[in-house]
Amino acid sequence: MMESLKDKSKNSVARRNFIKKLTFFCTSLLIPSFVNSREKSEKAKKWVLTNGYSPAEHYWGMGVAINKCIGCGRCVDACKRENNVPREPFFFKTWVERYRIFKDSETIVDSPNGAINGFEYPRVEKKAIIRSFFVPKLCNQCNNPPCVQVCPVGATFKAEDGVVLVDSNYCIGCGYCIQACPYGARYLHPVTQTADKCTFCYHRITNKMIPACVEVCPTQARIFGEIKKKASPLVRFMRMNKIGILKPSLNTEPKVYYANLDMEVK
């Protein structure tokens, strides 16, 4: 009698485990990014906890003072060197755009080779310029990232510290996230054939260093820091300036904040 009960109990547990695995498998087919989210979160912890860094204790963001940017392109060059970004054009984790607004309301935006070598200045402009300025751009590390939502395998995910990351071991190179990004901040790496983008130099910030682009800026136009800590230089920057974000109507909730953002910037 007891053996019969034990057999029934074992069969019941086996059935429950089978149903659980079957449910997980079916869910992974229907909603892969949802199923992988927990796994990705754990993977992110393994990446960074080896050196004592705790993602839950941080929430990163970046500020950009447009009136301080001189368009030198050092940030672009430093980013490519630090993160092994291909030197060919069109592959950038950060770039700088120049805006020239003329008297007749025409606006010309250019960014030759991402401004890695700066900008050329014409000796004589054919039309009168009302104002001109430079705008550094990068992944906006959205709090509500479209790229995460569309990834079919969960390769793109948001870590606890707010940084959006890409696991190249999972990425299948479908390009959905590249198309979904409204800021044009992603590209398909020509060698690995996986999606790539700015990560705030994650390998640096998890080792108590600032991103390479922030470090080399000669005018301190980029400010990196914590969003939720009052002593952070970023919090002070946001308190002391009129702050804007790119494409606010999309509700992506960017964590890159611009001071003195002109309405012509898209």
Sign of the dihedral defined by the CA atoms of residues 198, 203, 205, 206, in that order: positive
CA distance 35 to 153: 9
Burial of 53 (0-12, 13-18, 19+ CB in 10 A): middle
Q: What is the pLDDT along the chain (266 residues), one digit of tens a residue?
A: 444 434 444 444 444 444 434 444 444 445 444 445 555 555 555 554 566 899 999 999 999 999 999 999 999 999 999 999 999 988 999 999 999 999 988 999 999 999 999 998 876 567 888 999 999 999 999 999 999 999 999 999 999 999 999 999 999 999 999 999 999 999 999 999 999 999 999 999 999 999 999 999 999 999 999 999 999 999 999 999 999 999 999 999 999 999 999 999 98
Tokens of 110: 């250019």
Cβ–Cβ contacts within 10 Å for residue 123, how many?
4
Residue-level length of the chain: 266
CA distance 241 to 256: 14
CA distance 201 to 258: 19
CA distance 246 to 186: 16
Look up tokens 């920057």; give the residue.
237
Tokens of 190: 């020509």
Is the full-model pTM beyond 0.85? no
Angle, to 10 degrees, between the axis of helix 2-30 and the axis of helix 32-48?
Answer: 90
Q: 139: left (phi > 0), else alpha (psi -120 to 50), else beta?
A: beta
